[in-house]
Structure 1
Amino acid sequence: MHSFILLIWLVLCAAQDARQRRIANALTLGVAALALIWLLCTGSTWLGAEAGQGGWACLIALALTLPGFFMGRMGAGDVKLMTALGLATDGLFILGVFIGAGLASVVWMLLAPRVWLHMSQGLRDRLQYLGPTMSKKLPFAPFVLLGTVLVLLWIH
């Protein structure tokens, strides 16, 4: 059940990021606060890892995203998204998501020029920031969603 809620949250973040290239603080900080409260009250993350694992996952998320933020490759919403995801999961999960997101973005950059031409104009307008000409700074949340799905499939 917690995985399902996590996926719904990531779908909302991915949709907003793909359309507007930003993620609302209510989505990122709200879930981070809920995950932290859950962690402190139950002693475990949403996915059942020990509290210490959630803390490590949060630090791993910061270590992996802050360099991209300071280099201008990631937005603050991406950092907050991964940090909130870290508080809700564990270190291996967050590493898997980051690797999966990276692989998904590379595949998208290779396929986007071909796929983009066959998409309807309405869909291209809605997902304009995922277009092949935007490859310098793609929205990260859609790829985090794909990375999370891959990790959840791998775990189960």
Structure 2
Amino acid sequence: MLPVDPVIAWKFSASAWSLAIAASDWRERRIPNALLAPAAVLALIALSIQGASPLGASGLAVAKGAGLALLLTLPGYLLRALGAGDVKLLFVIALLGGVWMMLGSFAIGALLTAAGGLVGLKVRSLLGLDPKQGRHLPFGSALAVGLIIMMFAGDAPPGWR
């Protein structure tokens, strides 16, 4: 039997979790705490036991990521542009993978949401529908996809671990 690298196992587990988050946010436009809390607790337990996040980030990178996640999302939440689930999801992503994983997930999520919004506006316009009457795109789904991409895109540069 071949030994399994714990980080690889975490990546596949986190991918399944991310897909569940994306599906929930896409379908119901909300991210349940029942999906977020266990991941946060497991990330904190792993950090305290092994001194690194489940996806290999140092405690300092996790702290920086968690703080920055709140700085990036709380203004959007206060302006009602983001939901509380989006804020909590980005925070949990930081707990799982640190600042590099969080920033990459945020950037990819923002790009996916912007691209989807532009495509949606164009399609609604082509169909003769009012472009402003469409539903908002779920940012949590885009963050979850961003996390999956970041996990398999390669390791963080040494200064970001």
Smaller-chain TM-score range? 0.7 to 0.9
- Contact preservation (8 Å) 2:22, 2:140: yes
Cα deviation, 1:52-93, whole Å, max 9, x if unaligned, reads: 111111111111111111110111111111111100101111
What's 2:5 paired with? none
Cα deviation, 1:17-53, whole Å, max 9, x if unaligned, reads: 1111111111112211111111111110011111111
What's 1:7 paired with? 15
- TM-score (normalizing by structure 1): 0.81
Which sections of structure 2, spanning at least 5 residues, go unmatched?
1-8, 125-132, 156-161
| 2:54 aligned with 1:46 | yes
**Aligned counterparts of 2:13 and 2:43: Cα–Cα separation in 1:** 12
**Aligned counterparts of 1:48 and 1:27: Cα–Cα separation in 2:** 21
What's 1:20 paired with? 28
**Aligned counterparts of 1:113 and 1:86: Cα–Cα separation in 2:** 32
Which sections of structure 1, spanning at least 5 residues, go unmatched?
117-131
Structure having greater relative contact order (Cα 8 Å, sep ≥ 6) = 1
- TM-score (normalizing by structure 2): 0.79
**Aligned counterparts of 1:54 and 1:3: Cα–Cα separation in 2:** 16
| 1:98-117 equivalence runs, <5 A | 98-113=106-121
| 1:82-93 equivalence runs, <5 A | 82-93=90-101
| 2:134 aligned with 1:133 | yes
Alignment RMSD (CA, Å): 2.1
**Aligned counterparts of 1:100 and 1:53: Cα–Cα separation in 2:** 19
**Aligned counterparts of 1:112 and 1:155: Cα–Cα separation in 2:** 31
- Ranges of 4+ aligned residues in structure 1 off by more than 6 Å: none
What's 1:30 paired with? 38
- Contact preservation (8 Å) 1:10, 1:141: no
**Aligned counterparts of 1:134 and 1:54: Cα–Cα separation in 2:** 34
What's 1:123 paired with? none
Larger radius of gyration between Structure 1 and Structure 2: 2
* Residues matched between the structures, number: 141
How far residue 115 of structure 1 moved from its aligned partner, in angstroms, is 6.4
